[in-house]
């Protein structure tokens, strides 16, 4: 009587990398920052970001921002923008009837890549602004 040896699935490098990244990103949280009232006549000041160096852990996947008082806007920093680590300006129109622009410095892109929270005020369009928070 012979016993069969169970076969194990060996992971390829690609499968291992994908599974490792998914495990790292399992703890990523998106924070939603909202405006206190619907009054668009008095926008709030932007939240300053610190100039501390980002952590060494990085991600090269797209990162979506949470948009305060959102009505169809979408803010995404693409993996290519994160890898490039240069300053970018994001058009966040999405399905809204107007556009806003969010400008991120190279330091802020590196902070987003390192999963540090970054909050940036959009441009003032159509009589209002939005706070966009990444990570």
Angular region, 9: left φ>0, alpha ψ -120 to 50, beta rest: beta
Q: What is the pLDDT of residues 63-104, one digit of tens each?
A: 999 999 998 889 999 988 888 889 999 999 989 899 999 999
- Listed residue (133, 100, 124) closest to 42, CA to CA: 124
- Listed residue (108, 85, 21) closest to 57, CA to CA: 21
- Asked if residue 42 has pLDDT above 90, the reply is no
Domain ranges of the chain: 29-36+47-134
Whether the model clears a pTM of 0.85, i.e. scores above it, the answer is no
The mean per-residue pLDDT over the stretch 112-131 comes to: 91
- Asked if residue 37 has pLDDT above 50, the reply is no
Rounded Cα gap, residues 106 and 51, in angstroms: 11
């Amino acid at each position: 009587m012979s016993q069969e040896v169970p076969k194990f699935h060996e992971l390829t490098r690609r499968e291992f990398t994908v599974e490792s990244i998914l495990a790292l990103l399992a703890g990523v949280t998106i924070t939603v920052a909202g405006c206190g009232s619907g009054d668009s006549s008095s926008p709030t000041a932007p939240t300053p970001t610190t100039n501390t160096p980002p952590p060494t852990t990085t991600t090269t996947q797209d990162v979506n921002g949470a948009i305060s008082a959102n009505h169809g806007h979408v803010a995404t920093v693409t993996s290519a923008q994160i890898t490039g680590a240069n300053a970018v300006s994001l058009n966040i129109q999405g399905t809204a009837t107007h556009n806003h622009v969010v400008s991120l410095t190279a330091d802020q892109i590196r902070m987003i890549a390192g999963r540090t929270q970054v909050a940036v005020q959009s441009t003032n369009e159509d009589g209002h602004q939005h706070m966009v928070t990444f990570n």
